[in-house]
Every structure is written in C-alpha cells, then in structure tokens.
Structure 1
C-alpha cells in the first residue's frame, strides 16, 4: 500500500470514527443530565454502536465475497435470497423447537442460509447466463418463493406480527446481553481477510484457479459458508439490512478495481459508514420515534442499485 493510499484510508477511518462518535451521542434518553446516564450509555449506546460496526462490516464483506464467487456485481445476500432462507430457518426453529435460545436459532438460520446459497449456486451452474442481470433476477425470484413460504407458515400459526418484528431491520432492541453474538460475524470478516487472495483467484473462474493451485471447490464452499453465517447471525440479531452488501462493494470496485485484499478495508469502512448514517437518519428524522434502519437503507440501496444498473448499461 502506497503512502497516498494509506493516508486516504486513514482519513476514511477518521470519518467513520466521527460517525460512530455521533451515534454514541444521539438518542432520546438524556444521558448527560440523568443520574443513571453513565449506566444507560454502556447498556444501550455502546452495544448499539458496536452492533453497527460488526453488522455493517460483515454484510458489506459478504456482498464482496458473493460477487467474486459468482462473478457478478449484482449479487449479495439480498439479491441471492440468502436472507430469506435465513428467515425461513429462524421461523422453523420457533415452530419446531420454541425452547431453543438465541444461539440455537442463530445456528439454524445460518445452516438454512447456507443451504439456500448452495441451491442458488447450483441453479446458476445449470443455466446459460446471457446477461449479468439474469443472476440477481434468479436470486430475487428464489428469495420471493422462500419468502412466500415463510409468510404462509407464519400466517398459519399466527406469527405474522412476530415475524415482522424479527425481520424489521432495526438496532432499537440491541442492548448489552443481546448484541454479543454479533462478534461471530466479526470473526467471519477476519476469516475473509485471511483467504482474500484465494477468493480473488476463485473469482477468475474454475480453470484459472485450478491452474495456479487453488482448490476452487473448497474456496467456493468456504466463501458460501462465511456468507451464510454472516447473514444468519445478522438476521437473528438485527433483521434485514437490504442492499448493504450490494452497494458498498460496487462503489469501492468502481473506484479501486477488483482486488479483494486491498478493497476489504474500504468495504468494511464503507459498510460501517453506510449503516451508521442510515441508522442516524432513522433515529433523528421522527424523534422521539424511530424509523427502522432497513427502511432508510432500502431507499438508499434501491436508488444506488438503479444507478449502478444504468451505469453498467451505458458502459455496455
């Protein structure tokens, strides 16, 4: 990394740190003038901010991994149906084994997300892809089918309201004692750093990866598993974070190219910054009420997605 690139990364890190500091200070509860303000700061504000960091970095990184493995810039956990499969796993856990705790639900959701992502990858291998838009369309349709099944089961067992609360995509309920499992997605992000070079090579295709000694299938399964864990854990703790893994890696790739290792710090910082800004908007636009971060992120992400589509079309 050159001195110029290092300086730019340092400036970006300072900006993200400033956003996180603002996140610690913004809230309905007056921590400065209350007797228990210090305790509430550590119970609510710090866990919420840490959750923003962990979830934002993990979901943005997962999007980058999926885009490299599928060789398609329009794929992430949202457009591949991964989050819908995680939601189905979580609902089945509640229906079949309601006594299972948070960790158990997280494991089942991650396994379901992994199965769903494998199904998505298998479908891609069996069709002829004539345009890059076919891949996300397949993922969106697959996710819609799974989502319809999840909604049907929830309606049959009177769990629609509970399901809506689970998957709203909000950091409101993130407090001390509930966010700690998100450190798992922090580990996922670190593992992506460790195999970043192999993911880059695997993104060039099976033949190229095999020719340079990279075990393509192993990297494909490992990358899929990491994405599934990140999606499963985040869905259980926070809910849906739409388009986060789609927008951030694309913006970084447009500026810096496709090298996974050199892009990862920027993708992590971008993911944290985007989810923090959306969360701050949700907290302040109707204070003391709160707009779910998924709603703000969905609006921003949809606009960015359309912009990227139009940019790709004009470039073609």
Structure 2
C-alpha cells in the first residue's frame, strides 16, 4: 500500500472510532439517533456539552502524547523511551504539586506552564545523564530513564503525603476523561499546534538523534534542536496532565508500530503517529466505557493494560526476529 492509501485508511478508522465515542456512554445517545440527526433537546445538550468535548480531548491527548514519544525516541536514539519512562511526566506532576502548594489560585494555564517547566528540567536531566554515561545498549537507556522517573516520582509522593495531597497526585497520574466537559478541555488544542511544530522540525530531530558530532557536521544547531524537542515534549506532557491526567504507553508503542508499518522517515512518520495515538487512546477510552457500563474504567488503566500487551508483543517479536 502507498503512504497515501495507508493515511486514508487510518483517517477512516479514526473517524469510525470518533463516531463510536460520540455514541457510547451512560447517556441515551445511540448510533441510529446520531446518524439520523433526529436528536431531542436533552440529547443535543449531551452531545455538545459532554460527548464532543470528550471525543476531542481523547483525540488531541492521544495525538500529542504519541508525537511526544516519537520526539523523545528520536532525540535519545532509542525505541524504548517516552515521557512517562524518562521522568518527564513525574517532573510535571512535581511542578503541579509545587504550584498547588505555593500559589493555589494560579489559573490553569499558569499551572500548565509551571508543570511544563518542571517537565523540561526532568527531560534535560535525562538527556544530560545519557550524554555523561554514553550508553550504547538499547535496554540500558530506558532502564536509566525508569530509575530517574522512580526517584522523581518518589519525591513527588513524599511531598504529596507530607501535605495531604495524595488524592490530587493520584488524579494527576491516572488519566481519566470522565470529567471532561465543554470549557474544561480547551487547553488540549495546544497539543494540535505542537504536533504541527513536530512535523516542521521532524528532519532536525532525526539528525539530532544521530549524535552531536554527526548533527554538527551536517550544519545542524544540535543544542537548539534538542532544546526545542524537549520543550515540545514537556508542553504536551503538561497540557495533558493538567487537562486529563497522565496516560502511559501511548508514546512508547505507537511510534514503534508506525515504524514497523511505514518506516523511519521523520517528516512522513509524524502524521501516522498522531493518527495512531489518537486512535489507540480513543479505542481504550471506548473499552473503558463499555466493559463495566454504565460505570467507567479510567483510560489510564485500560491504556496501561493494552499498552503493556502491545509493548511485550513488540519486545518479544524483535527478539524472535533477531534470533
């Protein structure tokens, strides 16, 4: 299949998932009424106040997190890293705790910027550690990231416990779209702009992933490119956490699946990764709403299970391919 046909197929599948997301839920809004357009006043209110915002939030969060994972993988030259495995997500949660304690009246956008700043520090620390250790093993890099994430996460938990914010921290670290309504998700549209920037800088991120010497030799401003990439990753992680909470594995499994299907061309890969991330999170959100209907399982839980299964399949599949 050509790239255009694959992209078209992915778009159609994503559209079908979005329609399903609009129709599924505790409220009475099924496929026949949705497709015919014969909706009551209450159903229209449900559609515009809850279902549309939730579906948009799901798609935007999934696309942004998947692209953020791709950027981290490009910059670190490792297929087994994403924001939630290198300390970026934990650093952002630490920033949220800090601003909640020091300036609780700060607007949501301000809290997002603080969380992004802390996330940037965490991402920069991870990259600095990699540069110092000069690791070559594909498995040691994510191991270092997990250790760093564990240390930062432990610090955040200590602070949360000390100031009675464990419930708030738990909400930050478990993605859930059940509370998304009109007026409470709009920050996620920032993720769409960040995806566009990722497409613009994709070639530079690919060159930066080849190492400082190669990138500089090809005329690339290595430090500036890495900084831009880490800023994009931090902003996506922060805006997602502030809006719906952390969602694991999206940035880990989607870029790997896309790489297996269409290759590693950075500029061409980003749209596929965005569509794949949006589709996977949407699918997991639908599963969470259907399994225990009319109750819900948070998308962070369903994504954790589905993502872990996909990741193990990818890991064992690569081991088998290499003998």
Q: Please, what TM-score do these two structures have when normalized by structure 1?
A: 0.96
CA displacement, residues 25-79 of structure 1 (integer Å, 9 cap, x when unaligned):
1111114675422012101000111111111111000111110110000011111
Displacement, 1:209?
A: 1.6
1:8 aligned partner: 6
Aligned to 1:185: 191
Aligned twin of 1:207? 213
Deviation at 1:199, TM superposition (A): 1.4
Distance 1:128 1:56 in 2: 32
Determine if the alignment matches structure 1 residue 94 to structure 2 residue 92.
Answer: no
CA distance in 1, matches of 2:223, 2:18: 39
Equivalences for residues 278-293 of structure 1 within 5 A: 278-293=284-299
Q: Which residue of structure 1 aligns with residue 275 of structure 2?
A: 269
SS of corresponding position for 1:126:
helix
Which of 71, 75, 79 aligns to 2:81? It is 75
Task: Give the drift of 1:12.
Answer: 1.4
1:113 aligns to what?
Answer: 119
Does the 8 A contact of 1:167 with 1:238 survive in 2?
no
Aligned to 2:36: none
Q: How does 1:1-316 map to 2 (within 5 A)?
A: 4-31=2-29, 35-316=41-322
Deviation at 1:314, TM superposition (A): 3.4
Determine the C-alpha separation between the residues in 1 that align with 2:320 and 2:43. Answer: 53
Residues 126-156 of structure 1: CA deviation (Å, up to 9, x unaligned): 1141411111111111111111111111111
1:204-239 CA-partner distances (Å, limit 9, x unpaired):
222222222111111111001100000011011111
| Cα distance in structure 2, aligned partners of 1:4 and 1:205 | 31
Q: Is the 8 A contact 2:54 2:177 kept in 1?
A: yes
Q: Aligned partners of 2:205, 2:171: CA distance in 1, in Å? A: 35
Q: Distance in 2 between matches of 1:166 and 1:247?
A: 22
- TM-score, scaled to structure 2: 0.94
